[in-house]
Amino acid sequence: MFTKKEKEDQKINTDKFEHYIGIYDFYFKDLRDKNINILEIGVKNGESLRLWSKYFKNANIIGVDLNPECLKEKDENLNIDIIIGDQSDPKTFEKIKDTKFDIIIDDGSHVFNHMITSYLILWQNLKLGGLYFIEDTSMTFHDNFLGYPQHRLTWDKFIIGAIRTLDLDIFSHNLVDKRIKKDPNQRANYDHPISKNIKKNTGIDPKKFKNQILFIHAYNNLLVFKKKFDLDKSCMNQLESSDKILSSKDKK
């Protein structure tokens, strides 16, 4: 993305782990010159937003943070806007409810239920073929982030549920639906492990997201979700080439 010298020359001082930068470059390099929308949860001193502004020359960038002091990081010259609000509150995202994003990055509170809620709220705002990143997932082991042990297990179940949707996908979902129709008691074997809790706490039913994830990549402290290019096609039909997997828009 940027060499150490380039970061120093451009006065980029983000607190992101160094290995994140290379990972982001892997996914972002074909998007650098495109007109895209980026949403990042967690503003702090604004360095991360300025990083994206310098990397993506034609991007519209929105940062979300709970701290009103972050409003000072708004910069029209760099196409950076700021929303103040709690990432776990759907009202925070009312202003952008009709905006579709190519990239969404959660570098916010790192509290497990906040990350889950934000994902469920914002997934509908992610464009087809878009990328959703969740940073610093190891914080779910830390007590000061409502982490380990019981809450970490909830986070693990959430990720397991996301992976389960990949395994079921369209073809398998059809078989499962027929099986459940014959025996409704079978539903518990296929639903998201924390489906009832999610629906109770957020009002969002995780089942509406089935068949929408193209892939999930897991790195140290970082998760990457890719949304399908076509929700009516299976994953197998969309994983044709590496450039198509990583690009923001379907190449025909």
Over residues 112-159, the pLDDT tens digits come to 888 988 998 999 999 999 999 999 888 777 666 565 566 667 778 888
Alpha-carbon span 88 to 114, nearest angstrom: 5
Alpha-carbon span 199 to 220, nearest angstrom: 29
Alpha-carbon span 234 to 212, nearest angstrom: 9
Of residues 196 and 109, more confidently modeled: 109
What's the pLDDT tens digit per position in 74-108?
A: 998 889 999 999 998 989 999 999 999 999 999 99
Query: Looking at residues 148-175, what average pLDDT do you find?
Result: 71
CA dihedral 44, 45, 46, 50 (to 10 degrees): -140
pLDDT tier at 174, thresholds 50, 70, 90: low
Give 118: exposed, middle or buried? Use CB within 10 Å, 0-12, 13-18, 19+.
buried
Q: Other C-beta atoms within 10 Å of 120: how many?
A: 21
What is the pLDDT, as a whole number, of residue 40? 97
Alpha-carbon span 169 to 209, nearest angstrom: 11
Alpha-carbon span 229 to 244, nearest angstrom: 9
Query: Looking at residues 229-235, what average pLDDT do you find?
Result: 80
